[in-house]
Every structure is written in structure tokens, then in C-alpha cells.
């Protein structure tokens, strides 16, 4: 019989125990590794589903914005076409529209008219006095002050005064005439 104090028995027990511990450690390592891979796969699938959901929501929002833009653009296009047709028709009925200018008397009458009390900037801009008859002097109304006729001191305009027919602040008669 084998005695408990036999070194062969203890060597066999140690070898058997080491083998079982090694096999358990190896299988535990494999199960842990597979568990980590499974957790990564689940997290990756959830991230993919979340990204697809966000992409779908973004695509829906972009489609809605595009549809609203196209609807508004079509409304503007429709209104523009109608206005253009009316303007073309009006021009056909009134061929004198291409003669758009004011003579000296017309400019005086325009500047002498009562001003609007509206505080809207567009009407204030529309009611501002015109510069001298730009079409007759072959100048645009936006020429710098230095290019206007007369001396610089004669050109400066006093606010609230109407302008003369000769240009902004330019008197109808020159000094010394």
C-alpha cells in the first residue's frame, strides 16, 4: 500500500492539482475573453442602431427643411411670375414709361410736396429729395460732392431746405450774376 508519507503520492497529487488548476485557468481565460468580445459586439450593435436612428432623424429633418424651402420658393416664383406678367402687360399698354425724367419745374414740385409723417425707413428714403436733373446733365445721382457743379461751399446743403433745380444746394443763380 501506499503510505501517506510517500513522496510519489504527493508528487501525483501536486501534478494532478496543477493540471486541474491550469485547465481551469485556461478555460476561465477563454470564457472571459469570449465574454469581453460579446460585450463589445453588443455595445457595437447598440451604437450602430443609435447612429442609424440619428441619421434617420437627421434625414427626416433635412427632407422637411428642403420641402419647406421648395414650397416657399414655388410660392415666390408664382408671385414673381404674376407680377412680371402684370408689369409686362402694363408696359405694353403704356409705352411712355421709358421716358422717366424730371425737368426743373417737376423737380421743384417734387421737392415742394408735403412730406410723409410715416416713420417707416422705406417711405422716408422714398420721400427724400432728388438730386438735380441727372439725366439732363449726364451725371448719375450718386456722383461725389466734388463732381457737382459750383464751389464746395455752394454745394453743402442745409438740412430741411429744398434743393434748387441745378443740383443739391446749388442755387439757381450764381453769385455775382
Burial of 154 (0-12, 13-18, 19+ CB in 10 A): middle
Q: Are 170 and 176 in contact (CB under 8 A)?
A: no
Q: What is the pTM of this model?
A: 0.34
Tens digits of pLDDT across the chain (177 residues): 567 788 888 999 999 999 999 999 999 999 999 999 999 999 999 999 999 999 999 999 999 999 999 999 999 999 988 988 888 888 788 777 767 677 788 778 878 877 655 444 444 445 555 555 444 445 455 545 455 454 444 444 445 555 554 444 444 454 554
If phi > 0 it is left, if psi is from -120 to 50 it is alpha, else beta; for residue 138 that is left
Contacts of 81 (CB under 8 A, 6+ apart): none
Amino acid at each position: 500500500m501506499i503510505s501517506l508519507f510517500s513522496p510519489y503520492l504527493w508528487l501525483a497529487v501536486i501534478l494532478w492539482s496543477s493540471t486541474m488548476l491550469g485547465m481551469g485557468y485556461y478555460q476561465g481565460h477563454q470564457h472571459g475573453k469570449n465574454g469581453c468580445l460579446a460585450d463589445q459586439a453588443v455595445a457595437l450593435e447598440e451604437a450602430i442602431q443609435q447612429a442609424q436612428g440619428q441619421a434617420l432623424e437627421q434625414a427626416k429633418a433635412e427632407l422637411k427643411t428642403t420641402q419647406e424651402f421648395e414650397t416657399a420658393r414655388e410660392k415666390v416664383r408664382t408671385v414673381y411670375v404674376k407680377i412680371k406678367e402684370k408689369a409686362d402687360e402694363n408696359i405694353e399698354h403704356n409705352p411712355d414709361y421709358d421716358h422717366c425724367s424730371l425737368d426743373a419745374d417737376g423737380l421743384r414740385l417734387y421737392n415742394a410736396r408735403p412730406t410723409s409723417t410715416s416713420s417707416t425707413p422705406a417711405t422716408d428714403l422714398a420721400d427724400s429729395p432728388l438730386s438735380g436733373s441727372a439725366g439732363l446733365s449726364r451725371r448719375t445721382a450718386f456722383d461725389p460732392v466734388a463732381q457737382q457743379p459750383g464751389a464746395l461751399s455752394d454745394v453743402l446743403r442745409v438740412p430741411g431746405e429744398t434743393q434748387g433745380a441745378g443740383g443739391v444746394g446749388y442755387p439757381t443763380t450764381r453769385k455775382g450774376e
